[in-house]
């Protein structure tokens, strides 16, 4: 079952939380900055070892001071016009994050709304892409959470899932 919640992803108790990371993996604004602050400086040190991550891919680190066991750093696409592979890259990053978490032994995972903030991916399109991928993994994970920052995102994702408010 996929849950849509409005919460602070750093406070969720799940095996893995997904970070909407940039290609450097060295922190940034939004959820990326919040996760780095909550996890502590050890997270930055662990991320430095990767020397970055290409768009559409993901990397995993320990979660350090977070309630989760792992952080999956997922690099979503920056929206340009939708004709440069952005939808496929977004689907690919969700798929990669799920596979990495599963390989670590995670059975519960929480995702932010990847690429819909500073990367400007249209929220409704992103919701349908994300939920399409996540729904294929419902039987593999005990719990899949889409953690939304604002009420608008909750409404969009619940509408896309067909559950309403």
The CATH number corresponding to 2-161 among 3.40.220.10, 3.30.70.270, 3.30.360.10, 2.20.25.90 equals: 3.40.220.10
pTM for this one? 0.96
Whole-number percent of the chain with pLDDT over 70: 99
pLDDT 10s digits, 113-123: 999 999 999 99
CB 93 within 8 A of CB 121: no
CB 58 within 8 A of CB 70: no
Active site residue 8: no
pLDDT for residue 44 is more than 90 = yes
Say which residues have a Cβ less than 8 Å from residue 109's Cβ, sequence separation at least 6.
14, 15, 16, 17, 18, 72, 97, 98, 101, 141, 143, 144, 145
- Helix, strand, coil % over all residues of the chain, rounded to 5: 40, 20, 40
pLDDT 10s digits, 92-106: 999 999 999 999 999
From 8, 15, 32, 153, the catalytic residue:
32
pLDDT for residue 156 is more than 90 = yes
Mean pLDDT of 25-29: 93
CA gap 124, 141 in Å, rounded? 24
Say which residues have a Cβ less than 8 Å from residue 94's Cβ, sequence separation at least 6.
74, 111, 114, 129, 130, 133, 134
CA gap 122, 116 in Å, rounded? 6
Domain regions of the chain by residue span:
2-161
């Amino acid at each position: 079952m996929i849950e849509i919640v409005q919460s602070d992803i750093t406070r969720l108790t799940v095996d893995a939380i997904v970070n909407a990371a940039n290609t450097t993996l060295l922190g940034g604004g939004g959820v990326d900055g919040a996760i780095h602050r909550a996890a502590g400086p050890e997270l930055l040190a662990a991320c430095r070892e990767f020397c970055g991550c290409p768009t559409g891919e993901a990397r995993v680190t320990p979660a350090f001071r977070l309630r989760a066991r792992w952080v999956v750093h997922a690099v979503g696409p920056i929206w340009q016009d939708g004709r440069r592979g952005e939808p496929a890259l977004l689907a690919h990053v969700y798929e990669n994050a799920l596979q990495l978490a599963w390989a670590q032994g995670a059975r519960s995972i929480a995702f932010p709304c990847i690429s819909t903030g500073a990367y400007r991916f249209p929220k409704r399109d992103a919701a349908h892409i994300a939920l399409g991928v996540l729904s294929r993994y419902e039987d593999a994970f005990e719990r899949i959470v889409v953690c939304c920052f604002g009420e608008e995102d909750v409404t969009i994702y619940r509408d896309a899932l067909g559950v309403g408010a």
